[in-house]
Homo-oligomer: A and B are copies of this chain.
Amino acid sequence: MKLSALLTSAGINIALCVVLLLLYSVLRRQPGNVNVYFGRRLAEEHRRRQDSSALDRLVPSPSWILKAWEYTESDILSIAGLDAVVFLRIVVFSIRIFSIAAAICIFGVLPLNYFGQEMRHRNIPSESLDVFTIANVMQGSKWLWVHCLALYIISVSACILLYFVSFFQHVTPFQFVITFLLYHCKTAISLHYWICPNPSHFSVLVRAIPSSTGEPFSDSVRSFFTKYHSLDYLSHQMIYRTGKVQKLLNNAEAVYKKVVNMKDITIQKGCVPHRLRCGLCGGPSGSFQLYHNELDLEMKNSSLNDIDPCIKEKECAAAFVFFRTRYAAIVASKVLQTSNPMIWVTDLAPEPVDVYWSNLWLPYRQLWIRRIATLLAAIVFMFLFLIPVAFVQGLSQLEQLQKMLPFLKGILKKTPVSQLITGYLPSVILMLFLYLVPPTMMFFSAIEGPISRSGRKTSACCKVLYFTIWNVFFVNVLSGSVISQVNTISSPKTIPMQLAKAVPRQATFFITYVLTSGWASLSSEVMQLFPLIYSLVRRHVFRCKSDDPDGVLSFPYHTEVPKLLLFGLLGLTCSILAPLIIPFLLVYFCLGFVVYRNQILNVYCSKYETGGKMWPIVHNTTVFSLVLAQIIALGVFGLKDSPIASGFTIPLVILTLLFNEYCRQRFAPVFDSLSAQDVIEMDRHDEENGRMEEIHEQLQSAYCQFPLRMASICDHEGDESSKNGGPGESSSPTALEITKSQPAAATAAAAANPTVRRFSISRLHRAVASLSTLIAIQNRNALR
């Protein structure tokens, strides 16, 4: 591939980006798109933005960038939570490290590579890209120490940055929050998440409650905890599971809900039959209305007596146990309860909105099998994915492709076509295939049985990350040789050498990958293509209300974090081998910083927190990338017959691994749980303020399997899954399914609160009614 092809590709992408960003700056100011581009704000502020003049709305401007810049980190912490701060810190970290790498590699390494061999240089645009890689350096060159030095500087600065980010990561937010908590409690309303006593800090999820004959689970829990944690035990709340009948009812309820929703849409505007109501068919909507009226009629007649007697509360062997203090909850979650670790399993409870209800009643004994099964499934999926990747890889090596498919020769000879195919098509195809991955991994992670939605997202994040690194980096690198020789992975000794041969050769592909996948994904992220189209269709085809303040998505960390880390890996491994990649990466990260800031501030809502659990993944991956880069460099120096450079690289590998081990010791435990000191301080503060009683009261109703309360969240989650859009996501049990599946349980849970109970029963009742009505209508239709 020549520099001109690369520049073509870059040109296409830059143009595309600019067009999309300008389009965004226009679209965001259209009042109709406010729920697409300002979802979070809309949800929070519950008011429409002021309309600007029509002309203003159509002039592209970069003002949104400036607006995104205005916010400080603590603003973001208060608006979007810890996860958003961590995510932005990942971006800043990448910008810093690649700025250093750019300075060193562009001015130090690139000239060395370019003038590495004595040759007549053509004019630069028509130069092959290989001239800019380390492949152009002479065998046994004395200048390889510059590469080695560059590697040292990059590694050391990466480690230092990593350490300080880790350090401030866990010191700043926590300490900051606690200081805040203690001294400025009343002043910071926005620090809601941290300052308001979090019910999850007082609660422990107990699973695998042993079943003793006759005694209900609830009594077992009460007797166990009053016996062994008598001082701190406050109360508990059982978790209920649904049977077959309930599931049927829930489905019916879902149908009912949809129909009611339809009624809202149709009847809202004085029930005038509107020609555009259903833009696709344009038919009259009388039948819908009829059905609805029938439903209404039936519902009025039905009474509580209709409820099937077999709809009973069905306790399962899990419960939330509430403690008087945060410390007691942490203690109960950390200590082994009985001498059989498979019963009375305690974990700190997730936050109420974060609970993954449908996984809570999974038998605890199943979980380890589920974990192994999903691991195997994910691995199989990774290997099945080799097929499209191998195809893509073939495209970037035109000569090979021409040999294999000779009929393409005619087309491929035309320069622009060949440049387009080598420079652009492979990445686009790969990117399209990669869209399938996150939903699939999310599905696997849901099956695994996490108790929280944030846990599911973190687990999916890891899976997507491994998948991406394996399929984008390793397979592309190794399959470069696979087409010519099959047996590359068979001998472990030669892997560094193989990598050293293949990585510089594949560097051009990686550069185009950064251009297409990276830049394009950022512009499509800021454009919010899918939600935009969805919103347009909703508004103009189905004539829905344009405002849906509940339909705010949560940030897709499980797709964005692996993306950032993959580009970090590509950058670090290619930095000294093919420094041309770094400017493109730097542009990507800078653009990413602005775009993600904007998205976090305006579009996404933080519904649940992982508590910064993304950071250990980032830390480990960065160290892995560094070590991989060093091993590849070792191989390259070996190939280039430079024993000194190889010799100096080995201690660097060892030092990097030692650094990682130190960080594991120093930082890893903090991400697992809060410390005794912190929680005791919080407890004391609440006690001194006399807020404990209030907190204990709130605890009783914090966790609720009751659907009404969750309904609003379900709707978002539903939207979110429709955005993620893959086949996996739709079959994963999202919150929608969860909440739908436990109305009966919810009645029990809400038994303490009469209002809630009434609500729940009437809801159940409605569901039964709707089911019977639907069946009646079906039968009537069948008879006609």
The one of B337, B667, B669, B670 that contacts A677, using a Cβ cutoff of 8 Å:
B337
Contacts of A775 in B (CB 8 A): none
> In the bound complex, how far is the Cα of B672 from the Cα of A334, in angstroms?
13
A677 to chain B, nearest CB (A): 5
Complex contact B490–A665 (CB within 8 A): no
Complex interface residues of chain A between 664 and 691 (CB less than 8 A to chain B): 665-670, 672-678, 680
Contacts of A680 in B (CB 8 A): 228
A367 to chain B, nearest CB (A): 9
Complex contact A336–B492 (CB within 8 A): no
Is residue A171 contacting chain B, with contact meaning CB distance below 8 A?
A: yes
Is residue A100 contacting chain B, with contact meaning CB distance below 8 A?
A: no
A172 to chain B, nearest CB (A): 11
> In the bound complex, how far is the Cα of B490 from the Cα of A492, in angstroms?
7
* Closest B residue to A175 using CB positions: B339
* Closest B residue to A364 using CB positions: B665
Q: Which of A341, A492, A661, A672 has the most CB of B within 10 A?
A: A341
> In the bound complex, how far is the Cα of B372 from the Cα of A680, in angstroms?
35
> In the bound complex, how far is the Cα of B339 from the Cα of A672, in angstroms?
11
Is residue A331 contacting chain B, with contact meaning CB distance below 8 A?
A: yes
Contacts of A674 in B (CB 8 A): 336, 339
Complex contact A675–B334 (CB within 8 A): no
The one of B338, B369, B678 that contacts A339, using a Cβ cutoff of 8 Å:
B678
A interface residues, how many (CB within 8 angstroms): 40
The one of B337, B667, B678 that contacts A676, using a Cβ cutoff of 8 Å:
B337
The one of B228, B335, B493, B669 that contacts A330, using a Cβ cutoff of 8 Å:
B335
Is residue A778 contacting chain B, with contact meaning CB distance below 8 A?
A: no
Is residue A781 contacting chain B, with contact meaning CB distance below 8 A?
A: no
Is residue A383 contacting chain B, with contact meaning CB distance below 8 A?
A: no
- Interface flags for A79-119 (1: CB within 8 Å of B; 0: not) read 00000000000000000000000000000000000000000
Q: Which of A331, A339, A340, A666 has the most CB of B within 10 A?
A: A339
A201 to chain B, nearest CB (A): 14
Complex contact B334–A334 (CB within 8 A): yes
A530 to chain B, nearest CB (A): 40
> In the bound complex, how far is the Cα of B368 from the Cα of A491, in angstroms?
32
Contacts of A171 in B (CB 8 A): 339
Given the known A-B contacts A490-B492, A670-B341, are A665 and B335 also in contact in the complex, defined by CB atoms under 8 Å? Answer: no
A189 to chain B, nearest CB (A): 25
Complex contact B491–A336 (CB within 8 A): no
Is residue A763 contacting chain B, with contact meaning CB distance below 8 A?
A: no
> In the bound complex, how far is the Cα of B58 from the Cα of A486, in angstroms?
75
A52 to chain B, nearest CB (A): 47
Is residue A174 contacting chain B, with contact meaning CB distance below 8 A?
A: yes
Is residue A435 contacting chain B, with contact meaning CB distance below 8 A?
A: no
Is residue A170 contacting chain B, with contact meaning CB distance below 8 A?
A: yes
Is residue A248 contacting chain B, with contact meaning CB distance below 8 A?
A: no
Is residue A342 contacting chain B, with contact meaning CB distance below 8 A?
A: yes
Is residue A658 contacting chain B, with contact meaning CB distance below 8 A?
A: yes
Is residue A71 contacting chain B, with contact meaning CB distance below 8 A?
A: no
* Closest B residue to A371 using CB positions: B661
> In the bound complex, how far is the Cα of B78 from the Cα of A404, in angstroms?
78
> In the bound complex, how far is the Cα of B554 from the Cα of A238, in angstroms?
52
A26 to chain B, nearest CB (A): 47
Contacts of A372 in B (CB 8 A): 658, 661
* Closest B residue to A672 using CB positions: B336
Is residue A433 contacting chain B, with contact meaning CB distance below 8 A?
A: no
Is residue A168 contacting chain B, with contact meaning CB distance below 8 A?
A: no
Is residue A662 contacting chain B, with contact meaning CB distance below 8 A?
A: yes
Complex contact A675–B336 (CB within 8 A): yes
The one of B331, B661, B669 that contacts A341, using a Cβ cutoff of 8 Å:
B669
* Closest B residue to A334 using CB positions: B334
Complex contact A339–B174 (CB within 8 A): yes
Contacts of A493 in B (CB 8 A): 490
> In the bound complex, how far is the Cα of B489 from the Cα of A492, in angstroms?
9
> In the bound complex, how far is the Cα of B337 from the Cα of A368, in angstroms?
30
A222 to chain B, nearest CB (A): 16
* Closest B residue to A678 using CB positions: B339
* Closest B residue to A336 using CB positions: B675
Complex interface residues of chain A between 132 and 167 (CB less than 8 A to chain B): none
The one of B336, B338, B342, B677 that contacts A338, using a Cβ cutoff of 8 Å:
B677
Q: Which of A170, A491, A661 has the most CB of B within 10 A?
A: A491
A471 to chain B, nearest CB (A): 22
> In the bound complex, how far is the Cα of B346 from the Cα of A675, in angstroms?
12
Complex interface residues of chain A between 307 and 356 (CB less than 8 A to chain B): 330-331, 334-342
Complex contact B665–A368 (CB within 8 A): yes
Complex contact A673–B336 (CB within 8 A): yes
* Closest B residue to A228 using CB positions: B680
Complex contact A342–B665 (CB within 8 A): yes
> In the bound complex, how far is the Cα of B678 from the Cα of A341, in angstroms?
13
Complex contact A336–B228 (CB within 8 A): no
Complex contact A331–B335 (CB within 8 A): yes
Complex contact B339–A675 (CB within 8 A): yes
Given the known A-B contacts A661-B372, A676-B228, A680-B228, are A670 and B339 also in contact in the complex, defined by CB atoms under 8 Å? Answer: yes
A497 to chain B, nearest CB (A): 13
> In the bound complex, how far is the Cα of B491 from the Cα of A175, in angstroms?
51
A109 to chain B, nearest CB (A): 32
> In the bound complex, how far is the Cα of B334 from the Cα of A486, in angstroms?
51
Contacts of A338 in B (CB 8 A): 675-678
> In the bound complex, how far is the Cα of B675 from the Cα of A668, in angstroms?
25
Contacts of A665 in B (CB 8 A): 341-342, 368
With A341-B669, A368-B665 known, 5 other A-B pairs at CB within 8 A are A228-B676, A336-B670, A336-B675, A338-B678, A339-B674
List, sorted by A's number, 22 A–B pairs whose CB atoms are closer than 8 Å.
Answer: A170-B339, A174-B339, A331-B334, A331-B335, A335-B676, A336-B669, A336-B670, A336-B672, A336-B673, A338-B675, A338-B677, A339-B675, A339-B677, A340-B666, A341-B669, A341-B670, A368-B661, A368-B662, A368-B665, A369-B658, A490-B493, A491-B491
User: Footprint of B on A, CB under 8 Å?
Assistant: 170-171, 174-175, 228, 330-331, 334-342, 368-369, 372, 490-493, 658, 661-662, 665-670, 672-678, 680
Pairs A-B, 3 closest by C-beta atoms = A341-B669, A334-B334, A336-B675
